Chain A
Amino acid sequence: MSDTWDFETRLRQALAPVEPPDELELRLQTTLGSLVELAADELEAWELRAMKDPRNWPRAALGPAAAVVIGTGAAAGLVVLRTRSKRHKRRAQAHSALDLAERTVRDAAREALRVFHDVAR
């Protein structure tokens, strides 16, 4: 019993926790911070590119007729404008880059439908 206890004490001493180097902590914080910023920057650029092209608006939600109507320059511009105006809200609500992308596509489809109804009126 005492031998086992002694051995486990020695084992605990041998396997003492190891402090990570300070530079690792700094590097990790920088890397994680950069990842968040990079994701936001990339999404900003992606949002703009994707929303300018009506082919990226989900056809299932929109319908082919609406896509053709809205695919014209002015209507497409309106969809982009309306979709982008909500980007801050989307970012605040999204919990990952993928989720943000999905929300953006959904918003674009919603705005495209609204524009279609406005144009059809």
Chain B
Amino acid sequence: MEGSPPDKAQLDAAFTELYRAHLRDVYSYSYYRVGNHHDAEDLTEQTFLQAYRHFERAQRESEGRPLRPWLIRIAHNLAANYYRDRSRRPQTTIDDAGALPELHTTEGLVEDREDLNRILECVRRLPDDRREALIMRFALGMDNREIARALGRTDGATKVLLHRAIRQLEELVKAEAGTEAV
């Protein structure tokens, strides 16, 4: 016999939990995708509104698996539309000097800000899929399986994608550093 449908209050509570747990993930992903706070806020908002609309089905179909990849996939699709609609590319590093420097200084992570900015600039120049995989791995701490689900790829293809992304980025950064040193 089919189980009774989940109570709406339970669903709302589960969505609130999801939202609290992953607001920072969605925001970080959006921020590194679009490169500015204003659009990242819009993208985050749209992501959660869309997620809210389809939450029940996603929860049913997830069969207990984490929903973070599903959320990030929504953000990924919305970001793709964002670029298509506005014919934009991600902006250079971080435009409004807001969250990133503040976070880095509070975390004591800034040793060489120019170096970090150079890395971010090179991340921006990577092909979309490689850039996204790196954001998911390094900004969100997602594992291969989660990234694979978010990107709709196999685990093996994701592993290769990440490996190539890191290799390409390293080469870009080295080349950039060499150019600046000249």
Contacts and interface: CB of A to CB of B under 8 A. Distances in A.
Interface string B57-80: 000000000000000000000000
Nearest to B136: A15
Interface string A3-29: 010011011111111111100110110
A111 to B, nearest CB: 21
A25 B139 contact: no
Most chain A beta carbons < 10 A, residue from B11, B117, B139: B139
A35 interface: yes
A9 to B, nearest CB: 10
B107 A16 contact: yes
| A interface SS class | helix
A56 interface: no
Interface string A94-109: 1110010000000000
A25 to B, nearest CB: 6
B153 interface: no
B45 A11 contact: no
A52 interface: no
Contacts of B115: 10
A1 interface: no
Interface residues of B, number: 46
B39 interface: no
B13 interface: no
Contacts of A35: 49, 52
B130 interface: no
A101 to B, nearest CB: 14
Contacts of A11: 119, 123, 134, 138, 166, 169
A20 B11 contact: no
Contacts of A12: 138
B116 interface: yes
Contacts of A8: 138, 166
A45 interface: no
Contact of B7 (A27, A31, A93): A93
Interface of B: 5-9, 11-12, 15, 19, 23-25, 27-28, 31-32, 37, 40-41, 44-45, 48-49, 52, 56, 99-100, 103-104, 107, 109, 115-117, 119-120, 123, 134-135, 138-140, 166, 169-170, 173
18 contacts: A11-B169, A14-B116, A15-B123, A15-B134, A15-B139, A16-B107, A17-B25, A17-B103, A18-B24, A18-B32, A18-B40, A20-B27, A24-B45, A28-B45, A32-B19, A92-B8, A95-B11, A95-B56
The list of the 9 closest CB pairs from A to B, nearest first, reads A20-B27, A14-B119, A15-B139, A15-B138, A14-B116, A18-B99, A17-B28, A18-B28, A18-B31
